[in-house]
Amino acid sequence: MGGGSWGTAFARLLVNAGVVTEIICRRPYQSEAINRNHRNPDYLESVELPAELMASTFDDNNLSLADLVVVAVPSKAFREVIHRLAGGISPEAPVLSLTKGLEPETLKRMSQVLGSELPAPASRRIAVLSGPNHAEEIALDIPSASTIASTDARLAKKLQKIISSTSFRVYVNDDVAGVELCGATKNIIALAAGMSDGLGFGDNTKASLMTRGLVEMSRLGEKMGADPRTFSGLAGMGDLIATCTSRHSRNRRAGEMIARGKTPAEAESEMGMVAEGLTSARSVYELAAGVDLEMPITEQVCEVIYEGKNVLLAVAELMGRTPTYE
């Protein structure tokens, strides 16, 4: 489910791994173009897709026949899509979420949304995948690695075997909460890193933001019952490095544009893609407040993107905080 850049790249990956795959698009013209021209007209349009890849729409698909369902839609649309299509999913089919973020209204992780929308018992058929996985590189078979997490070790290992290839190495983990929180929180730090780029700051600034950002991420994870080790792995440090430094990073680019005077809405419009951090920043901040956790970088990013705070003032307030132990 999902005809965006990540959904498209992952569908291509599955086909090349020998999996019969159908990509379900929201827009009918997308599915028509993929079936006819083997290209997605909206995302990764320069990448030729396998002729074996089938495309359909939310209203006309073969979902009921699927042995595996992969969800790659933005977090703010996640529940709507699952609620709409859950009735067509086989009760035996595992569901793998690729979405990084929190549901804005409930602060739930995507696996929790799946658990509430799929028929019970659903927890043992849910898995999540996260890591330093820019779609632009996955679609070109550039070597990458990722983490699959599930409470069911057998399911995680089964999916690992299905998805792994010579260009995509998959590790397994049982820390679902940690892997998902990594994916949600790293985008906020990437916004800050992009703002640093937009202001013309250097490597020292970005390295400091990333390091202290990782501290914020792992502290929230511990408060939420996650394994601290997850945050030093692919879903945590790995994805943080990629998202804060890559030219492909939507969140880094959005932060850079905001520092140069664009509004968040203008930044997303100019990119033509969703920057998850612009939605999840408030959710992460509220989640932290609910467990009485201070997240200074996240707080300043929220004030910049939601309240229009001057980025230089946010920097000054971060640098002027009371000195403390590391």
Task: Verify whether residue 161 is a known catalytic residue.
Answer: no
Which stretch of DSSP H or E encloses residue 237?
A: none
Of 76, 186, 223, 309, which is the active-site residue? 186
Which stretch of DSSP H or E encloses residue 173?
A: strand 168-173
- The catalytic residues are 186
